[in-house]
Structures are given as structure tokens and as C-alpha cells.
Structure 1
């Protein structure tokens, strides 16, 4: 894919996208999390890129949302969806849904939304989703007890690039390898020419090591799983609760994760635990072994029957007077037993195996001496042996676990992606359930809504009165103040936007013509000055001269200038829109005047107030076809003219004469 062919993607961004493992797949799937892994690409930018790629794929170059108010309706609809997402990923992923003019894109999302609406937003699933996030790759890993070795400069450079976590050394011969083996627990040689060389230590010739990261640096994979363990377990919980079809064997994953600790190290088996403990306890065990030997010798000397009192002999011995000869002549057996006791204690305390015990036996020399002291050189050798054995064991366990996890990595990525995508689907399902939505029909002429309720109103959705309304072609919508005219326009806009996003709409039933654009002109705040008035007329000039199927919603355009002029201007605009492919609803208190000024028989619908109760209007919210709704002042005059016995004759006649003016 030519990334620069995506609108808004320049050379720098294209280069960053190319650094991803599978950028084409991420773009095709709208995978915001994967795109956000590109250097310098934020999640918000990733969503914009994904949306642009989708539009390019469906040849959807137009801008459906043609005005600021239309874009506000889209943002409000998107916010309703995002509020029902649990994860940040889903919230960003929902931004790839947009109102499209492309039939293929609308149908693609409708098919997806149909399946999404079937999902049950089970609380257990939603709770598990709270712990799911896109997987992350840890950085800053450094392994110091292992190195790679090669005699080839080019291979050396390749190894450094492939394995920044470990040292890569240049060696020329066996002596160089032997030197490395004294400083590293494990040396991995990349050159086959070194095969067969016998060198002390853990030296391995692995010519294909550059293709086996799990073998060379198992810490990389272990750190990845340790870093993402909670996310993986949360994703597994989602998979179980939602019965997701995933390629990952969850039982195998659970077992592998249980073998890993929080720091990315392998949970030790019995042998590694023994070796770790032996290294940690070595100095203490040697010291205690000395004490065991010296205590036994002390007791033997004190109890010994020689030509001088035992206590006197002890005093002389402690002063160093002929200790070797005295012990050799008088206490040879006792000294040997004390040394044996020290050795047994060291072996038992550290749980040493046979080979380690042979070295440990030399830690306490057999030559008669008192007090008994260990041989530091031997203890150092034992420490090196135990440390090397510990590191080799740890590396082996790491490699074994890394080999198991390597087989799981791709499956785990799919597992997490499936859980995150389920959150996107559940957001749509929750939206549809909470707002009693249905997928609308697409086609026909105009917009028709049955029992539609707007979730954008500033009241509880349960308190919203459902309305029925259908409109095609240019139409005037009249009605009393606060009767719901603007809310009706908002509902028309919302249903149209959601339908073109391919999503369900808040109605029992709806049909929406497939439009190329939505123009929504909101109510102006006060009369405009000459410059602003001219600018508004220019906007409508561009609108009436445009082409394509359009839905045009205009709220009280008469407020831009004097009522008389406004009526004539609106009538002229409607005349221009008539006869084309435009559905237009103009809300106006001047519907009668506009109808008279129009050069064609313009339909007028009305939101009627059926009366006043306690000073409050009682309104029939669904617009009535072919009805010019009465104004609030007319209702008040009618109430005053018809109430019984509360007005004198002349006053009552005054109200009746006023009421006649409305006829």
C-alpha cells in the first residue's frame, strides 16, 4: 500500500507507518492500537489515519457533514457510543465510524453492527474488560551473564542490531573464547568454524542464533509476558465470559503465566531454588561449619587426659604453642572427626550434590590446626561453581518457558485484539439497548421516523416523548415556542447521521434516504449585521447551487433580519431547493407568510399545542402533516375569550375580536 495515497499522510507519517510489523492489516482493520505503536503517532492521530484509509478504500472522498451544527450532532452521537465503551481502545476505535456517502462503507458497517447488536453486555464481561489494554513491548532489558561471539565483523553488526540486550564480542580463536567463558555464564558462538573446540564452561556454537531470539534472549519474551500478564489474564476472562472464539488455549496460557513472576523471571523449580539458596547461604554455612569443627575440638581438648590439665593445654593451644604437633600426636582422630563434621554441615546446609560436595570437602583442610579455618580459595571456587550452575539452570528454565510462550505470542495478540474488539461491539450493543434502537431502512425519498426519541435532550431518556414524523422534499415546520421544533430537527439529524454511519437509530422504525450530505443551519442569536447577513446568504447560495442528494435542516432563519424580508428570502430559498434531490425542513414562526410568498405550494407541518394547563403548554410532539400550528399567543387569547364568567362583556368581546385576527 502506498501510505502517502491516504489523505493527510505525508512522507514522515508514511515512514513511521512502514516501521510497523503489519501496517496494511492495521489500516484495513482500523486497528487504532496497532497504528498508535508507530513512532510519534498518538492514538488520536491513529484514529484519524484509520478513518482516512477507510474513506480512501471506499472511494468516499466527499464530506457528508457540511455544517458546524451537523458536525456537532456527529460528535454528540459519537460521544454517546464512546460513553458505553469500557476501554480506551474501544473509544478510539469508535472514531473510525463516520457518516459516509459511500454505500459500500455503510453496508459494511451495517453488517458488523447487526452482529454487534446480538451480543449480551454481560456485567461479568464488562468487568473483565476493565483490565484489558493493548499489549506493550517492554524496553531497557539488559542481560549481563550471556554474550554472543563471532569472528566476522558483518555478523557482529547484525547481531548487535538483532540483540541490543546482550553483549556481542569479536573473537579470533579458541583462546579468545576461553577468556570470554571466564567472564560470562554462557557464550553463544555464531561461527560454525568454532564447532568441536573443547572449552571449559557453557560455550555453545549456534550458527542460526540470529533467527532464534527465544533461545538467545529468552528474557525479551519473558519480559513481554510479565509486562502484559494482567492484560492477558483479563482478556482470557473476557474470552471465557463472552465465549469468544480465539485461537489461544487459555489453559496453556494460564499455566505459562503461572511460571512467570512479576519481574519477568521464571518461577524457580526445586533445583533452581536449591542453587539460589546455596549461593545466598554459602558464607553463613561456611562460618557455621567452622564453629561446628571448633566446638568439637574445644570439647575434645578440654576432656583430654594428658600430662597437663586439659584446661591448661587449651590455654596453651589457643596461644599457638605447638598446636600442629599437639593435635597430630594427641588429637588426630578428634581433629579428623571435627573436620568431617564441618564438611557434613556444609553439604547438608546447602543441599549440595555429589560434584559440589567434592569441592566443599576441600573447604576445610585436613592438616591439624586450631582454630579450624576455611580455605577461601576453595570457597570462592565453590561459589563460582554454584553461581554458574544457578545461572545455567535459570537460563535453561527461561529458554524452556520462552519456547512455550513463543508459540503463544501471536495467539495472545489475537486474544487481546478479540477482547478489545468485543468492547467496540458491546458499546454499539449497549447504545442500541439503552436507547431502544433499530437498524433503519436505507432508501426511498426523505426521512420517516416512527416512535423516535432523541437521547440528546437534557432530560432522562425515559422521560422523552416519542414522535412520529416523515418528510420528503422542501417542507415548513411550524409550532409553538418550546413545542419541540428544534428537538425534531435534532432527531432528524441524529437519525440521518447514525444511519449513514451504518448504526442503529433511536426509534421503533425508521427509513432514511441515502444522502450525499447533511446541512444543518442552527438558529441565529439575534438579528445579524449587514456583513453577517451577506455571509449567510452566500452560504445558502452555495447550497442551492450544489448537487447531489441532500438533507437540509434550518432552524428559524427569519431571525437573521426583519420578519417581512425573512419570509421572502426563505420562500426564495425553498423555491430553489424544490424540484431537486433535496429534502429540506425549515423551522419557522413565519410559515404562513412564507407560504404566501412562495411561488409553489409548499407543504407546512405543525407541532400543535392542544391547550394550556396550569400556565403550561400541552403539546402534541409529533408534527401533523398539512397543519399550520397555532402560536402560543393565539392559544392564550383563545383561553381568555372562552373562559366562563370571568370577564365583563366588553372585555370578553375584546378577546374575541383579537382571536379573529388569527383566522
Structure 2
């Protein structure tokens, strides 16, 4: 895929994406995490790039959401899906699903969504997902205790390029190699001519270094696994708790991760731990051994009764001898015991092996001194020996572990990707479960033509059974299901607060989700493929002349160029005076009907519109069954070909019924003279007055017929 061919991707962004290991795969699979790892690309930008790449793949021009309200519907349903994602990756990845008019894209997304509905979002899986994040590159790895050496300038350049983690040095001969060995724990000679050369230190001749990079720089693969250790462990847990197919041996990967520290060092090796502890404790152990020996010798001196004859003292003075000579002569055995105790303490404290113990024994001299002090050069040698042994051991274990893990890197990345993609599927599955969703049945263009050829039996453009609007601010279980069929352009009537707008929202949400390829909140849905959704929300208040003109221009464009789109309009009459509104709406309906468009116009002016329109406009009604304690009782599913009664009509009908009931019930206190009086002398309503009220209400009610 040509990166700059993707809409919205310029030369700078294309250059950033080109730095990815496999940008084509990331774009093809909508891998927003990989795209967001490109320099300067944010997660939001990555989602937009992935969406644009998908559009380019399907030759999708976009623009399906034709109005602000349509875009709001998309954002709201997308937010509901994202709220059910566990990982940030899944939330971003869900933004790559968008409503499309292209059959190929819809079917591609439907295939994934159908698979998602088979998933079981258990608590164990969701808990494991909470620790999964996209893998990241470890950054620059620098190894300072090892270097490469060569006599060849060309090989030097190649080594610097191939092994950026190591220093590369040019040497002339074995002497130069030996000098390097004194400054590095390990020297890797790249020239075969050094084979068999005896050089002190850890010098390895590896002319095959370029073919075995893991052997030379095991830190390279280990850095990736240590940097992503927790992410990989979480992905392993997700695979174990779910039915995902693992791309590698999970036990082998988990075992390798257990042998690795967060800083890339090898963990769980007793010998390596011993050497590290010995190095860390060396200075303290030497000091403690000195104190032990000095204390023992001091006690021995305090208890010793030493007598020095004059001639002996004179001889010692003449020879320039001091107390050490006296100790050597009089307390030789006690000094030996004290030094032996110091040596044993040092060996035991540091847990030294036999060879190391021999070096440690020389840390305390055989010649008596007081206080007892260590030989600094011997302790320095012991430190060097321990450090070299630790470096060699660490190198061996790193190479072993790196060889075990290096071939698993690609599978490990796939393991994490699959876990993250599972979260995407589970978010879809959880949304579908919450709203009892199903996959919509599309009537594709060729099938639609065949169905419409049947005339009266033509399939509706949209047929929703048991629809539950996810946009209502209600728990899913409290949402009343709605059945509604839409064929052509029609009016939707009904009482205030009866559910007309929420019905439009339901239709919009169903059509948008279906064209995203995702499950829809209904028992069943069938629909034709639309080229776009144009949802015009209710205008708040009458528009001024300029805004009114702009609105009419918009409908002109819609009526003359919106073939194949779904038009939803909520109370367009609010834009101007009711009489003019009815005429404008009638004209829009006529233009849309002539183009065989699909649309629903919510209006309280159904009668006026039908009288003005040049054709028989179908009217559906959301019928209120009555008023109970001041609350409307509504049948939420629109009744086809039915003009619903208005709220004022229901109220007048209620008043008429109450007045009629009052007229039929004579007052218990009434006498033959007519009215009754209360304590204040006020005359109450008579039966005749009740009859007059009934006549009044019935006269008003007749106006609605």
C-alpha cells in the first residue's frame, strides 16, 4: 500500500509510518497500537489513519454521516462500545469501525462481529485483560562490558552497523587484543587469524558473529522480553483463560519470562546470585574478618604474661624491630589462630568456592601485625575474579535464555495482539449482550431490485422488530421494545413525549450500527443498503432569515442529490411559522418521494402537510392510550397508516369524560331547588352546570375530528 495514497497521510506522516517494522500489516489489520508507535503519531491520529486506510482499501469515499446529528449518533454508539472495552487499545481500535456504504467493508466488519458474538466475556478473561498493553520497543541497548575487535577496516564498519549495542575496536595484533581484554570482561575477535592465540582474559574468536547475533549480543532479544515482561505474562493469562489459539508454547514462554529480571538480567540462577552477593558483601565481609581477627588477638595479648629479658630487648632494639617481632616470637600461635578465623569467616560469609577461597586466604598475611589488616591488592584480585566469574556466568546464562526466547519474539508479539483484539471482540459481545443485539439482515442492491419487482409485496427499506434504543438514558432492561417498518418517505405523528424522537434515534442507531457491520439492538432487523444517513434534529426556536435560508438550501441539496440515503427529520416545522412549515415540508416530501428515497419526518402538522402535498403521504402514529394520574400511557411502536391523536386531544377527551361522569352522579346534598351551599354561602355546580361543561368539552373534542 502506498502510504501517501491514504487520505490524510502526507509525506511527513508517511515517513514516520515507514519506520515501522511492517506498516502494511498494521494498516491492513487496523493495528492502532503499532501505528501509534510511529514517531509523532498519537493514538487518536493512529485510529484516523487506520480508518482512512480501510476506506482506501474498499474505495470508500466516506461521508456516510451527512449531518451533525448523524455524527452525534455515531459518536454515542461508539462510546457505548468503548465503555465496554478493558484496554485503551480496544477503545482506540473500535474507532476504526465506521458506517460505510461499501458492501465489501460492511461484510468484512460483519465477519469479525459475528465471530465476536461467539465469545464469552468471563470475569477471569476480563481481569486478565486489565494488565495487557501493546508491546513496546526497549529503546537503545548498550553493553559496556563486552567489545568486538578486528584488524580489518571493512569488517569494522560492518560490525558497527550490525552490532550497535557494542563497542567495536580496531587492533593490529594479539598484543592489541590482550590490551582490550584488560579493559573488557569479554572480547569477541571477528578475525579467524586469532584462532588459537593465547591471550589472558575472556577472549572469544567468532568469525561467524554476523550469522549468530544472539550469541554475540544476547541482550538484544532479552531487552525486548524484559521490557514487555508484564504485558507478555498478562497475554499468556488471557490465552489460558480464553479459547484463543496460542501462537507459541505458553509454558515455555512463561518459563523464559520467569528467568528474566525487569532490567534484562537473568534471574533464578543460584550460582549467579552467589557471585553477585559475594561482590556486594565483599568490603563488609573483609572489614568484619579484620575486626574478628584483631579482637581475638587482643584477647590473647591481654591474657598472655610476656617476660622480656634485658639482653633480648637490647637485641630487638639494635635490630630496629618493633612489636610485630615481639608478636611473632611470643604470640605466633595465637596470631595464626586469629588469622585462620578471619579467613574462615570471609570464605563462609561470602560463600566462596575452593579457588576463590585460596585467593581469599591470602587477604590476611602470615606475618603478625596488630591490629590485623588485609592485603588490599589481594582483595582487589578477589574482586576482579568474582566480577569476571559473574560476567562469564551471566553471559552464558544470557546466551542460553536469549537462544530460548529469540525465536519466540514474533509469536510473543502475536500473542499480545490477539489478546488485545480479543478485548475488541469482547467489547462488541458485551454491548450485544446488554442490548440483546442481533446481526442485521441486509437486502443488498440486487436482492432489493428483485424484491421490489414483486410490487405490493416489496420489502420495506427498514424493518425493526423489538428494537431497544441504546441512546436512551435508561438501563437496557427498562427500555420498551419498538417495532417499526419504513418504506419510502413517511410522516410520524404522536403525542408530545410519546417517543417520536427516540424512535428516530433508534432507527438512526440501528442503520449506523448495521452499516458499521456491528450487531444491532433489536430482536431482528432487515434493511437495504443506504448511501448515507441525513438526520436533522429538532431546531430550538424559530430561525432567523439567514439560518432559515441555509436550512432550505440544505434540503434542496438533499432532495436533488441524496439517492440511496436515509433521511430522518425531527419537527422541521419549528424553523418558521406553522402554515409555511407545512408547505415547505410537503414540498420536500414530494421531491424525496419522486426519487424513491427513504425517510421519516416527525411532525405535529400531519393533516396540514397531507392537504398541501401533491400525493398521498403515508402517516404512522405513536398512539397514546390515555392519561393515568397525569402521565401519558403510550404504545411505543408506531402504528402504520395511522394519524396519532395529540396530547391536547387526549386532555380534552379526559375532561369531557370526567364532566360526563359528574353530570350522571347527583349531589347527595342537593334538594329539589337545585344547587348546594357551603359554609360561606357559595353556590356549587349543579347537574345542569355539569351538562353544560360536557357540551363544551365535546364541542372542543369535535374539532379534532
TM over 0.5: yes
| Corresponding residue for residue 501 of structure 1 | 516
Distance across 1 between alignment mates of 2:25 and 2:45 = 17
| Corresponding residue for residue 642 of structure 1 | 657
Deviates more, 1:348-357 or 1:531-540: 348-357
| Corresponding residue for residue 480 of structure 2 | 465
Given that 2:55 and 2:62 are in contact with CA atoms closer than 8 Å, whether structure 1 keeps it comes out as no
Indicate yes or no: 2:614 matched with 1:614: no
Indicate yes or no: 2:625 matched with 1:583: no
Indicate yes or no: 2:89 matched with 1:89: yes
| Corresponding residue for residue 130 of structure 1 | 130
Report the 3-state secondary structure (helix = DSSP H, G, I; strand = E; otherwise coil) of the residue aligned with 1:623. coil
| Corresponding residue for residue 682 of structure 2 | none
Superposition deviation, residue 494 in structure 1: 0.6
Query: Could you report, residue by residue, the CA deviation over 1:155-205 in whole angstroms, capped at 9, with x for unpaired residues?
Result: 444444444444333333322222211111112233334333321111222
Distance across 1 between alignment mates of 2:230 and 2:320 = 64
Query: Could you report, residue by residue, the CA deviation over 1:325-351 in whole angstroms, capped at 9, with x for unpaired residues?
Result: 666666667666665555455444433
Deviates more, 1:539-548 or 1:510-519: 539-548
Deviates more, 1:442-451 or 1:164-173: 164-173
Distance across 1 between alignment mates of 2:321 and 2:172 = 57
Given that 1:156 and 1:170 are in contact with CA atoms closer than 8 Å, whether structure 2 keeps it comes out as yes
Alpha-carbon distance change, 342 to 495 in structure 1, aligned in 2, over 3 angstroms:
closer
Distance across 1 between alignment mates of 2:320 and 2:560 = 117
| Corresponding residue for residue 656 of structure 1 | 698
Report the 3-state secondary structure (helix = DSSP H, G, I; strand = E; otherwise coil) of the residue aligned with 2:522. coil
Deviates more, 1:191-200 or 1:283-292: 283-292
Distance across 2 between alignment mates of 1:434 and 1:298 = 83
Given that 1:147 and 1:184 are in contact with CA atoms closer than 8 Å, whether structure 2 keeps it comes out as yes
Given that 1:218 and 1:399 are in contact with CA atoms closer than 8 Å, whether structure 2 keeps it comes out as yes
Distance across 2 between alignment mates of 1:25 and 1:214 = 26
Q: CA RMSD in A?
A: 2.7
Distance across 2 between alignment mates of 1:134 and 1:119 = 21
| Corresponding residue for residue 390 of structure 1 | 390
| Corresponding residue for residue 573 of structure 1 | 588
| Corresponding residue for residue 522 of structure 1 | 537
Superposition deviation, residue 639 in structure 1: 2.1
Given that 2:461 and 2:486 are in contact with CA atoms closer than 8 Å, whether structure 1 keeps it comes out as yes
Superposition deviation, residue 392 in structure 1: 1.5
Given that 1:78 and 1:95 are in contact with CA atoms closer than 8 Å, whether structure 2 keeps it comes out as yes
Given that 1:268 and 1:394 are in contact with CA atoms closer than 8 Å, whether structure 2 keeps it comes out as no
Distance across 2 between alignment mates of 1:124 and 1:48 = 32
Alpha-carbon distance change, 394 to 661 in structure 1, aligned in 2, over 3 angstroms:
same
Given that 1:149 and 1:187 are in contact with CA atoms closer than 8 Å, whether structure 2 keeps it comes out as yes
Superposition deviation, residue 226 in structure 1: 2.7
| Corresponding residue for residue 442 of structure 1 | 442
Alpha-carbon distance change, 382 to 532 in structure 1, aligned in 2, over 3 angstroms:
same
| Corresponding residue for residue 217 of structure 2 | 217
Distance across 1 between alignment mates of 2:286 and 2:522 = 82
- Unaligned 5+ segments in structure 1 are none
Deviates more, 1:242-251 or 1:359-368: 359-368
Distance across 1 between alignment mates of 2:362 and 2:143 = 33
Superposition deviation, residue 92 in structure 1: 0.4
Distance across 2 between alignment mates of 1:299 and 1:527 = 107
| Corresponding residue for residue 453 of structure 2 | none
Choose the corresponding residue for 1:562, options 573, 577, 583: 577
- Unaligned 5+ segments in structure 2 are 449-459, 664-688
Report the 3-state secondary structure (helix = DSSP H, G, I; strand = E; otherwise coil) of the residue aligned with 2:86. coil
Report the 3-state secondary structure (helix = DSSP H, G, I; strand = E; otherwise coil) of the residue aligned with 1:132. coil
Given that 1:550 and 1:581 are in contact with CA atoms closer than 8 Å, whether structure 2 keeps it comes out as no
Deviates more, 1:569-578 or 1:324-333: 324-333
Distance across 2 between alignment mates of 1:307 and 1:425 = 94
Superposition deviation, residue 322 in structure 1: 5.2
Matches within 5 A, 1:71-110: 71-110=71-110
Alpha-carbon distance change, 158 to 581 in structure 1, aligned in 2, over 3 angstroms:
farther
Report the 3-state secondary structure (helix = DSSP H, G, I; strand = E; otherwise coil) of the residue aligned with 2:589. helix
Deviates more, 1:415-424 or 1:250-259: 250-259
Choose the corresponding residue for 1:480, options 492, 495, 505: 495
Distance across 1 between alignment mates of 2:137 and 2:333 = 64
Distance across 2 between alignment mates of 1:580 and 1:539 = 16
Matches within 5 A, 1:234-313: 234-290=234-290, 308=308
Deviates more, 1:136-145 or 1:609-618: 136-145
**Which TM-score applies when normalising by structure 1?**
0.93
| Corresponding residue for residue 374 of structure 1 | 374
